[in-house]
Structure 1
Amino acid sequence: MNEELVVPKCYYPWATIPSPIATDFDQEEIAWYDNDYTFISEEGIKRCKIQQLSQVATYMNPTCDSIERMRPCARLMIYITLFDDYFGLTPVKELKAIADRVYEVMLGDDPQPDELGILRQMAEARKEWEVFMPRFWIERVSLNFYEFIVYGMLEEAPFKLAEKRTYPTLAHYFSFRKYSIGMGPFGDLIDPCTNFALPVHIHKHPLIKRANELLALIIVIQNDFASLKKELDIEGEFMNIVFILRHHYQLSYQEACIEGMRIHDEYAKELNEIHASLPDFSPYQEEASNYVYHIKLQISGCADWYYNSGTKRYESKAFIVPQYGREGDDIFIPHRDFVK
């Protein structure tokens, strides 16, 4: 392929705010890897340590200056990312059983000593949240994590595990990718980071639900652009909006990027309009507006992390080898595009 591909960057019609504690968990996360992620190979742990995953939590929740409130959020950012990386090729029946166990631990059942250490991180985060968050919020983030696995990863599995590549339609892709991107539980981190749990009846309002859905859809496209250069180098990788648009609509890579960005910008515009036209949530009007504002900050903060944190996550050979994967699954293939 001789095509030169310029991957667009994502911009937003609202401000990006720097976190005052952006790098404060860099050393702690190394200890978490060494103590609780020993089921990952030594080489895999080396790859994890240069990704700066805890900073995603701080970049995406930049108004939080509390180490105590941010610590379990940083734990979640790491364990949701590595859960997806490690179990991404796990057979459906086995993964469903793991999802059930994760849900039990996040709700209150402590893991046994012989269980995977990632469950200890989940239990520790839950205990830290229980100090200052209400039970209904614990149940909310636990259910959203369960749905991340069941409605996201499990729905992706038939495509990832199929012997013959089959592209989902764009609508189907968004239907499961909005869960597997993990923004259900990660959006829930707005509450501990702002030290206010949005009441259930407000959280379930259709406009708030749509704002949360837009958070996920925008991050899906943002992530697809950020990872495109790496994924062009991975043989068999096709779970990316650019690949899907290119396949179904016979577009060039550049045309697919332009169309993907158009969809992204429409979603960002819709989110801005929702924020500007919220209904009466009295006596929680200010809190509801602040919640949607922080959804917007999560989006621009994530882009800031991709572009400015120095993470090595999307460089070659940065991902861990998944369970049921093979060392070398992420090797270069010789026909990659030149990407700017």
Structure 2
Amino acid sequence: MKASITDEQFFSNLLHLPKPSYPFPDFIHPDFQVQREEYYKWIDTEYIIHSKEAREKHKKHNLTDIAARGCPFLKSLVELRPLANYTANGAMMDDYFDRCSREEMYIIMDKIMALVSGSVSREPEEPGIFHLFWQLRQDAVRCAIPENIYNRFIKSMKDVFIGYAEEKVYYRTNTVPPLSVYLLIRAETSGVKPYCDYVALQKDYRKLPDEIFDHPFIRRLYTLSSLMIGIHNDIISLPKELSREGDTMNLVKVLQQENNISLKEAYMRALDMHDAYLNEFELLQRKMSFFGEYQELVSNYVHDLGVMISGVYAWHTNDTSRYVNNGYVEGEYTNKG
């Protein structure tokens, strides 16, 4: 790891560069503060595997606010809770297993998927990551998430974990991936596709038939949402990732290596890619005129995908603790190999 640096050094090269922006409104769920309190309790009772320093840092991150901003129109805290669990537990799990191997991550994924799918129904005896994912399923059953939406949600979760596993190859060798590989992995590790599925629980979107969610236009909007959020996360977290070895899954680093250009040039190209994806999202949003009786409902759903994007970005821009110097939680898992 690189030597300690000052806050001024940490941000000096990036402070004055342009940032992403969105034309979509952003909101926050009215129960966000109550959900925060539950999150703090999760950290104190479930995340005892983390050091006290790590737990206190996590509390400052308010990770459940991402769910509250991404799906602000859910009817109740009960409906918000499974998404908040996935968000906070997934992020803290990713931090904890930061330097585990690809093979270990696949084993972890299989355990999680067995719990969230219900194929393993017994409650884990120990508190922690797996117990929280078991709890996610209990809460999903409690709020009667329709089976088709829940199955899409956990399938997307699995794809996120596959992305986590595949990026370990690059993290553990401190290797920057090729752009094509980065795009495939980042579309999953941004963690956004489960959000796209969960947006369907808001308003009347659960009335939409499955074939609409499988439509190529909708699937492409999911990918665009994932890449935009992945890139704006890369941009915001870049100072942190420039200061740590192994943080190679960042578009700015990828473009800098692939094109042999300066950091600033790579940053601007990353922003250009983000804006191109945003333009494509808006184009598809305008051109969807083939959903018949569901046209208005689909249009509103796509609008709320935009709200989700703005909401997640609002969390990133309001956060003053996770991506600042020494604010990130270092991985505490001890590698077996």
Q: What is the TM-score with the length of structure 1 in the denominator?
A: 0.87
Residue 314, structure 1, aligned to residue 326, structure 2? no
1:1-340 aligned within 5 A: 4-5=13-14, 6-64=16-74, 66-108=76-118, 109-115=120-126, 117-130=128-141, 131-150=143-162, 152-162=163-173, 165-194=174-203, 196-197=205-206, 198-308=208-318, 310-324=319-333
For 1:25, what is the secondary structure of its paired residue? helix
Gaps of at least 5 residues in structure 1 are: 327-340
For 1:192, what is the secondary structure of its paired residue? coil
Tell me: CA distance 1:180–1:205, structure 2 relative to 1, closer, same or farther (3 Å).
same
Match of 1:337 in 2: none
Gaps of at least 5 residues in structure 2 are: 1-8
1:81-140 Cα offsets, whole Å, 9 max, x none, are: 112212232222222122111111111233543355222222222222223211122211
Contact conserved, 2:85 with 2:132, CA < 8 A, in 1?
yes
Amino acid at match of 2:37: Q
The structure whose residues are more often helix, as a share, is 2
Match of 1:334 in 2: none
1:4 Cα deviation after fit: 3.5
Using the alignment, how far apart are the partners of 2:108 and 2:188 within structure 1? 17
Using the alignment, how far apart are the partners of 1:272 and 1:94 within structure 2? 39
Using the alignment, how far apart are the partners of 1:113 and 1:105 within structure 2? 9
Q: Which runs of 4+ in 1 moved over 6 A?
A: none
1:256-277 Cα offsets, whole Å, 9 max, x none, are: 1111111101101111111111
Contact conserved, 2:26 with 2:308, CA < 8 A, in 1?
no
1:18 Cα deviation after fit: 4.5
1:201-231 Cα offsets, whole Å, 9 max, x none, are: 1111000000000011101111001101222
Greater mean deviation of Cα atoms: 316-325 or 101-110: 316-325
1:235-280 Cα offsets, whole Å, 9 max, x none, are: 3432211111111212222111111111101101111111111142
Contact conserved, 2:70 with 2:195, CA < 8 A, in 1?
no
Q: What is the TM-score with the length of structure 2 in the denominator?
A: 0.88
Q: Identity of aligned pairs, percent?
A: 29
Tell me: CA distance 1:79–1:7, structure 2 relative to 1, closer, same or farther (3 Å).
farther
Match of 2:3 in 1: none
Alpha-carbon RMSD across the aligned residues, in angstroms, is: 2.2
Tell me: CA distance 1:160–1:325, structure 2 relative to 1, closer, same or farther (3 Å).
farther
Tell me: CA distance 1:41–1:31, structure 2 relative to 1, closer, same or farther (3 Å).
same
Using the alignment, how far apart are the partners of 1:65 and 1:143 within structure 2? 23
1:19 Cα deviation after fit: 4.1
